[in-house]
A and B are shown apart, each in its own frame.
Chain A
């Protein structure tokens, strides 16, 4: 194997249980986003655009969609020369094997994979964040400060600080304190879950962490605090720009809506920093004479007969006559029936919604979610989320009936 200066390891095994039915059959990094992408495309494209050509993707939970998404795109293999994108599920060794027990353990189990490339640095990334970042600038920062670890940080609103790993630094940017999800945050510099390690130092830490029976084998909870205690050189790399960890339905919906602003905070159409994805091989979308589209992102292959406002439509979505879609995200291949109204909803891939339905309600705070592949019969009124069901009912000739059976 050729020698590589830096190998990236993307943590992509998470379930994303707070995304509810959207992650029933796929891992969180495979959740569709932004009318064309899956979450992991942002991290993989950042690698590609930062000229990091050797990437391991650590998968565990429901990996099939993610695997085919990654291996279907030749483009990730930029640079060639023995690099590429490698999907790394847990595997059996001579002395047995086990699931990835935590983020650090996932990398620990792949020490041999990393060692093949004899890297000086290992970049640890999350596969479920939405952002654009030049990792080579981060790497240069790390080298300039001769750090053992560099952690990318971003200021977050104080009231949200207790959801993150919070850092305190000295004037030179060296980390003096690190608290994972503090109740009383002393600072608002949050870890983005993006780390550059010197590989020999990380390897030593991973081996030590593995022997620690009390450890959760997690970077944020175990490895970073221990390295800080050992007075290693930890630096914080301040990131400026748009960054979202879309861990909840609300944040996933909100981040999609962010793309619809007049001047979006994240430009996904920048030719200098393309976001690559698997091409759906679809024709241009078609907006009929009776249709309307405003404040919208519309993917290829869509057929729009109705009205679309302030919404994100992925490829191959069909919107029938008289339908209205507002403040919503409609994932690939979903079909919306005639005169159906969809408000403030996330409609899963290939879901099919009949005529004259009302999905979500105008002005409601709560996001309505329809799982992928679900068919909703005509004249259904539905709000809430598929797993807590919310208020579901079907009005037909026989009066109201419960929809529980079709979920």
Chain B
């Protein structure tokens, strides 16, 4: 079974996550971040998935509905949303342990032996079968997935690393370290027996500390046979605004596009019914990823367009991400800008961000 853990998300993408959890952040022209991990679970044959939701989960419920668009509706166990427990007062409960604990019955009821726990900030065409095989073959108690990357080129410190020894032995994990000395980045994804997960949750809850399951695992790592599995395929870790922007534009590299969309399995998402995108006689496009329902009558370069984006004649858009329903009127110019949903840029305006610091326009803004 799979658990998608959104309860402990502390990563922020400035205005983009002001009104939605990270898992519901639009990505890649037609998806939400959660689609990648969820599709990966479906494509890996996982038929029962629980989603530990954060407090703000309306946009997730709206996106996922019955799970039918991910082929869950006809399966025996299917997709279950696991909302957080109530907390006294207005403040949400800190950390995710209490959230796990409040939903222990979901784990206990399941007939599955293994649990794959994953966050939603990993973009990839995920295949978990090899990792599970590795976990079984090494007779591990717990196996973490990691990806080796150049740690001197990281956007921000908001990530965790693994101390990996020969034969995939996991000697330790460091959560959000102030400085990075290795490039073995954790993909916030691990496999363990259901029984062990329940023990860890109950142990952590009993002491009231720590607040997060990962901290609890780190503290117990010495008693466990822990292994690390290097994930071979394409993955992008989204943990801050610069990484979101960089990985979005990276999809314009055909090699990445191919790896993400044509390799392991299909990426499912909520089905919409937009017409094909229409280009008019004035359209000038180069290096553009465009979802359905757009109308392109201006110039667009090196950009991603979500559904139903309108680019009017004379508008120029470069290095930008325009989310669903955004509109750019005639002679407006956008460079390195992220427009959230329903943003309208009126005629003649010029907006500029930089590659390292894109300008984010909040959902629904008219400029």
Which residues of A line the B interface, CB within 8 A? 34-36, 74-75, 259-260, 262, 268-269, 271, 274-277, 279, 281-301, 303, 308, 312-314
Contacts of A303 in B (CB 8 A): 254
In the complex, how many residues of chain B place their beta carbon closer than 8 angstroms to a beta carbon of chain A?
Answer: 42
Q: If A34-B275, A275-B273 touch, does A281 touch B280 (CB 8 Å cutoff)?
A: no
Give A36 to B271 CA distance when docked, in angstroms. Answer: 13
Q: Do A36 and B275 have beta carbons less than 8 Å apart? A: yes
Q: Is B129 part of the binding interface, using a Cβ–Cβ cutoff of 8 Å?
A: no
Whether the Cβ atoms of A281 and B274 lie closer than 8 Å is no
Q: Are B28 and A283 in contact (CB under 8 A)?
A: yes
| Total residue contacts A-B, CB cutoff 8 A | 111
Q: Using a CB–CB distance below 8 Å, which chain B residues touch chain A?
A: 28-30, 68, 73, 252, 254, 257, 260-261, 266-268, 271-293, 295-296, 301, 304-305, 308
The answer to whether residues A295 and B289 also contact, given A283-B267, A284-B30, A288-B254 and a CB cut-off of 8 A, is no
**Inside 8 A of A35's CB, which chain B residues have their CB?**
275-276
Please, which residues of chain B bring their CB within 8 A of the CB of A285?
277, 289-290
List 21 interface pairs A-B (beta carbons < 8 Å), by A numbering.
A276-B273, A282-B261, A283-B28, A283-B30, A283-B260, A283-B261, A286-B289, A287-B286, A287-B288, A288-B287, A289-B287, A291-B285, A293-B285, A293-B296, A294-B281, A294-B282, A295-B280, A296-B279, A297-B275, A299-B276, A313-B276
- For A36, A277, A301, the residue with the greatest tally of chain B CB atoms inside 10 Å of its CB is A36
Contact A283 B281 (CB under 8 A): no
A289 to B301, CA, bound (A): 8
The chain B residue with its CB closest to the CB of A74 is B68
Chain B residue numbers with a CB within 8 Å of A282 are 261
Contact B291 A279 (CB under 8 A): no
Kindly report which residue of chain A lies nearest to residue B296, judged by CB atoms. A293
Determine if A294 and B279 form an interchain contact, defined as CB atoms under 8 angstroms apart.
yes
Smallest beta-carbon distance A144→chain B, Å: 32
Residues of A within 8 A of B261 (CB): 282-283, 301
Docked pose: A288 CA to B286 CA in angstroms: 5
* B68 cross-chain contacts in A, Cβ below 8 A: 74
Q: How far is the CB of B323 from chain A (nearest CB, A)?
A: 12
Chain B's closest residue to A297 (CB) is B276
Q: For the complex, what is the distance from the CA of A292 to the CA of B279, rounded to whole Å?
A: 10
On chain B, the residues within 8 Å of A295 by CB distance are 279-281
Q: In the bound complex, do residue B276 and residue A284 qualify as a contact, i.e. CB atoms below 8 Å apart?
A: no
A274 interface neighbour in B267, B268, B273, B291, Cβ under 8 Å: B273
Which B residues touch A290, using CB under 8 A? Answer: 286
- A291 neighbours in B (Cβ, 8 Å): 285-286
Looking at the assembled complex, report how far the CB atom of B111 sits from the nearest CB atom of chain A, in whole angstroms: 27
- Give complex CA distance A289, B284 in Å: 10
Closest to A293 in B: B279
In the bound complex, residues from chain A placing their C-beta under 8 Å from that of B276 are: 34-36, 297-300, 312-314
Expressed in whole angstroms, the Cα–Cα distance for A339 and B134 within the complex equals: 46
Interface centre among A34, A35, A296, A301, by most B CB within 10 Å? Answer: A296
What 3 pairs between A and B have smallest CB-CB spacing?
A: A284-B29, A35-B276, A269-B275
Chain A residues with CB under 8 A of B28: 283-284
Min CB–CB distance B126 → chain A (angstroms)? 15
Distance of A277 Cα from B273 Cα, bound (Å): 7
Instruction: Return the chain A residue nearest B261 by Cβ.
Output: A283
Bound Cα distance A275, B275 (Å)? 8
Report if A269-B285 is in contact (Cβ < 8 Å); known contacts: A283-B267, A284-B291, A294-B279.
no
Which residues on the B side are within 8 Å of A74 (C-beta)?
A: 68, 73
